[in-house]
Chains A and B, each alone.
Chain A
Amino acid sequence: MENQFLVDSKHLSPAALEKKHRLETDPSSRSNHMEYMPGMEIIDSDVCHRVISQMDAYDYSQYTARDVRAALDHETCSIEDFKALLSPAAEPFLEEMAQRARVQTSRHFGNTVYLFTPLYIANYCENYCVYCGFNCYNHINSMKLNMEQIEHEMQVIAQSGMEEILILTGESRAQSDVEYIGQAVKLARKYFRMVGLEIYPVNTGEYRYLHECGADYVTVFQETYDAAKYETLHLYGHKRVWPYRFDAQERALRGGMRGVAFSALLGLSDFRKDALASALHVYYLQRKYPHAEMSLSCPRLRPIINNDKINPLDVGEKQLCQILCAYRIFLPFVGITVSSRESAAFRNGIVKIAATKVSAGVSTGIGDHESKYTGRQDDAAKGDEQFEIADERSFEAMYKDMSGEGLQPVLNDYVYV
């Protein structure tokens, strides 16, 4: 079964509709997704080749219970062991994997759980990615906050007690250029201890500028590591260029960022191969940049505005749990973030096994923190949300719940130097 992503808005002009349909149905109308666009920096790196050759050769049906048993008996988890742990043969071992993952998590992170919140400052997007609420053919309220509005949102969030923020934009250089994002980062440094970015991939020099503004962590989701599948989902815009996206974390580290985060969007393609590639992306970059802090996320597809049928297909909670346990056993030192795409019950459980960071007080819309945090309605325009969230707990509720689970919520473990 596949998701039905394609939805026509009645607000599109006949010309726009015609172009949209052509992109959807005629591959020759789409640009070459492996070819860099003008202005995109090309770096010399072998990481992509290493990751993708492993992923292409991965046949998870070949692994047996014996391989999984051996993997769990080994003191350190090799790439081969990790492949076994991701395979269907490992499904009956889920509880044992969770026990092992829990020991590793506790050894490296104690009983802590980090809290953060995302802040979307603009949702304009120039890309047609068929599964995303912000895509340029989806009829939504588009909005970009000005600096005064951004500061107001930050004040509301900071008052809740949050000390770490992740600034997000839609992928539009025209509407949200690097300087605009840099200004927002500078503002964020006034209110938050730690500032991360989840924006469109940029060049090394631009990452350096954003680092100097005060950001130190960069998250880029590859969506899917299967470039051929990627091509069928990202039909138009600069995001279509798959290799430029792949090298984003490496450029960010070269630009001076302290840490980088990775993920595939689970449900878009073969999730076992995507999980393998995500972890190997971390593994090989860590060997090349051993000082860097690395973290993995695990987003699954969610419904979006104008398409409430989108779902993560064969990636159920058990599969997600298996992936996260395998990540933890293979990469004991990496952070693992579980977002509000997942339910409260899942997040309460997974923080005791493998996850080290959860979001709280989340809005994926634009300019609506005041009404969401305080219940106070204002007349100001709001921008629509990127996707529907599943866990709506506030910062206070999350803090209380995590403490109630026997964990120690941590708001900051970072100093900008």
Chain B
Amino acid sequence: MMMDNDKLVIGGHEFTSRFILGSGKYSMKLIEAAIKDAGAQIITLAVRRANTREHENILDYIPKGVTLLPNTSGARNAQEAVRIARLARELGCGDFVKVEIMRDSKYLLPDNQETIKATEILANEGFVVMPYMYPDLNTARDLVQAGAAAVMPLASPIGSNKGLATREFIQILIDEIDLPIIVDAGIGRPSQACEAMEMGAAAIMANTALATAGDLPLMASAFRQAIEAGRKAYLSGLGRVLTRGASASDPLTGFLHD
């Protein structure tokens, strides 16, 4: 079975789950559901939230065996992202880092240029760098050159639950970039996660879609199934889908005999 050997490989680390929990809205219940019901093996962690004293340190919430993906949220440029990543390492969060650089407090859109700079510095320092980016092919190529371990394009503005607004551009990244393309931000429904996986995305990161759901564990398991279904469809090779008209069963050129 093709599925048995189907692993997500990021920076030499192997995962069987293709759901990654984002960091925006945290609670014990969310983390539990993400691990138990969505099968998450990677959990993002905002360093700015972990940088706390006694009460409610997020680090205490995360069970052993789960890979921590600290992010650099709060960074407004490459230099700040690098500082936050180093702080994450000091806090004992491991070598993975999701580079997240925003110069916009309204839409929280990533700054691609600064992200490339930070990726290069951190990859050189031995981090497994997973940059969050606006889906742009030139940026993605530069991120590959800079030493990224995956590329994480946004589907639509973070927290918006609006789905694959950037579908065409994510498809280009999937087709052209050899690293895992992990769709991050904006995925609001399991069906959208499924669609991205059918397109060939390597994994899905979500947070708000689960955090704001009525029944958290149920939604978490829906995501798991949707992601698995999408992955299977991708691996099986999707059947032909006609965008317009029908296909004649007898070829129009059947009369040609030379």
Contact = CB atoms under 8 A, between A and B. Distances in A.
Given A413-B48, A415-B84, A294 B105 contact: yes
Contacts of A411: 52-53, 55-56
A412 B211 contact: no
A103 to B, nearest CB: 9
A164 B223 CA distance: 36
Interface in B211-225: 211-212
Interface stretch (A120-128, A243-251, A284-292): A284-292
Interface residues of A, number: 27
B48 A415 contact: yes
> Is chain A's binding surface mostly helix, strand, loop or mixed?
loop
B161 interface: yes
A342 B51 CA distance: 30
Given A161-B54, A290-B105, A294-B105, A414 B159 contact: no
Given A107-B159, A107-B160, A111-B25, A412 B87 contact: no
A5 interface: no
Contacts, number: 81
A15 interface: no
A107 B27 contact: no
Contacts of B75: 417
B190 to A, nearest CB: 18
B26 A110 contact: yes
A112 interface: yes
A225 interface: no
B84 A193 contact: no
A107 B162 CA distance: 12
A161 B55 CA distance: 7
B102 A399 contact: no
B76 interface: yes
B56 A107 contact: no
Interface residues of B, number: 35
A148 B35 CA distance: 48
Given A110-B211, A111-B25, A415-B87, A163 B105 contact: no
Interface in B128-176: 159-161
B46 interface: yes
Nearest to A414: B48
A39 to B, nearest CB: 31
A291 B74 contact: no
A291 B103 contact: yes
A417 B52 contact: no
B104 interface: yes
Contact of A286 (B55, B76, B106): B106
Interface string B15-36: 0000000001111000000000
Nearest to B108: A333
B102 A291 contact: yes
A412 B107 CA distance: 22
B47 interface: yes
A413 B53 contact: no
B103 A415 contact: no
Contacts of B106: 286, 290, 333
A256 to B, nearest CB: 11
B54 A107 contact: no
A163 to B, nearest CB: 6
Contact of A415 (B51, B105, B208): B51
B128 to A, nearest CB: 21
B212 A106 contact: yes
Contacts of A412: 48-49, 51-53
Contacts of A106: 212
Interface in A369-417: 399, 408-415, 417
Contacts of A417: 74-75, 79-80, 83-84
Interface string A293-309: 11000000000000000
A22 interface: no
A193 to B, nearest CB: 6
A399 B55 contact: yes
A107 B76 contact: no
A66 interface: no
A106 B214 CA distance: 13
Contacts of A409: 55-56
A110 B23 CA distance: 11
Contact of B159 (A108, A413, A415): A108
Nearest to B48: A415
B152 to A, nearest CB: 21
A384 B160 CA distance: 47
B75 to A, nearest CB: 7
Contact of A410 (B49, B103, B160): B49
Contacts of A286: 105-106
A293 B107 CA distance: 12
Nearest to A112: B25
A408 B160 CA distance: 21
Contacts of A112: 25-26
A107 B52 CA distance: 24
Contact of B52 (A163, A291, A294): A163
Nearest to A109: B25
Nearest to B83: A417
Contacts of A111: 25, 27, 211
Interface in B79-96: 79-80, 83-84, 87
A292 B74 CA distance: 11
12 contacts: A110-B27, A110-B211, A163-B53, A193-B53, A291-B103, A292-B105, A410-B49, A414-B48, A414-B51, A414-B74, A415-B74, A417-B83
Interface of B: 24-27, 46-49, 51-56, 74-76, 79-80, 83-84, 87, 102-108, 159-161, 208, 211-212
Given A193-B52, A286-B105, 16 more contacts: A109-B25, A110-B25, A110-B212, A111-B27, A112-B25, A161-B54, A193-B53, A290-B103, A290-B104, A291-B76, A292-B105, A408-B27, A411-B52, A412-B48, A414-B51, A417-B80
**Which A-B residue pairs are the 5 nearest by beta carbons?**
A110-B25, A417-B80, A291-B103, A415-B48, A412-B52
